[in-house]
Structure formats: C-alpha cells, structure tokens
Amino acid sequence: MIERTLTIIKPDSVEKKNVGAIIAHLESEGFEILAARMTRLSEAQARAFYEVHKERPFYNDLVAYMTSGPVWPMCLQREDAIGYLRKVMGATNPAEAEPGTIRALYGESIERNAIHGSDSPENAAGEIAFFFPTADLA
C-alpha cells in the first residue's frame, strides 16, 4: 500500500553537512519527497512533538538536542513507507543499526542518531500534520 511518513533530518546531520547525502539515500530507496523545509524547532514545538516520551529520563536531553540547531522535516511517500523507512533508518542506537542503514552511516550516538521516522500510521498522520498543512503536500 502506498503510504506517507514523516522523517526529520536531525541537528547532528545538518551540523555535519549530511543533509544532501541523506536525501540522496532516501530517494535512491524509492521515497518521493512530497514536502520538505528547513526550520529550527522552538522548545515548545520539540516538547509537543516528543510528548509521548515525556516520562522518559532522556526527554529533557532530547528536547535540548532537537532545538540545538536547524532540522529538515520531510513528508515521504512510497509503498509501505512507514515500515520501509524504519528499516532504511536502522535501530535507534547507531551502534546496533544494520550496516548500510542511515543511522549506521551517519548517526553518532543513541541520541544524535541522524534522522527521525514515524513508527505507526497513526503517528505518521499526526506528525505530517504537525509540520505540513495538507495543501502543501505535492
């Protein structure tokens, strides 16, 4: 089934100038970019985006990291986009990610792990709407 998902190229990737390589990687895996922009998250936006993690011990660190520099949210479309992005992205901890995955290639720690990918259809829909009005999707 053709699905849409949300990725965010995270601050560590922007800092290391890996944005182009990550976009090329995603395109080579068959993802179509329906919307993309560069932005800097406010603390309130980062807290809201990661609300599901608010009880986790790393929540404040995660918010500080995600607001530390610009990010690139993108809406991606592909067959089985949600599951396939999770596969191409690799495990949360880059040290445990399959070789060749984006996190294995570009991540540096369990926190600074290069990109985000929605983990379910419900979250994908909510996360796409968080960043992009429907009218902006190609």
Ramachandran area for residue 7 (φ above 0: left; ψ -120 to 50: alpha; else beta): beta
Alpha-carbon radius of gyration of the chain: 14
Torsion of CA 19, 12, 112, 73, to 10 degrees: -50
The residue from 41, 94, 116, 131 that contacts ligand GDP (CB under 6 A) is 116
Cβ proximity of 14 and 69 under 8 Å: yes
Count residues binding ligand GDP (CB under 6 A): 9
**Which of the stretches 12-20, 22-30, 58-66, 125-133 binds ligand GDP when contact is defined by CB under 6 A?**
58-66
Are 137 and 35 in contact, with CB atoms under 8 Å apart?
Answer: yes
Query: Cβ contacts of residue 115 below 8 Å, gap of 6+?
Result: 7, 8, 9, 10, 13, 22, 89, 102, 103, 106
Q: Which amino acid is at 96?
A: E
Binding flag, residue 61, ligand GDP (CB under 6 A): yes
Given candidates 62, 63, 71, 128, which one binds ligand GDP under the rule CB under 6 A?
A: 62
Q: Which is nearer to ligand GDP, 13 or 113 (CB)?
A: 113
Minimum CB separation from ligand GDP for residue 135, in Å? 28
Q: Counting contacts by CB under 6 A, is residue 110 touching ligand GDP?
A: yes
> Stretches 14-22, 24-32, 75-83, 108-116: which one binds ligand GDP (CB under 6 A)?
108-116
Q: Which is nearer to ligand GDP, 80 or 136 (CB)?
A: 80
Q: Which residues bind ligand GDP (CB under 6 A)?
A: 58, 61-62, 92, 110-111, 113, 116, 119
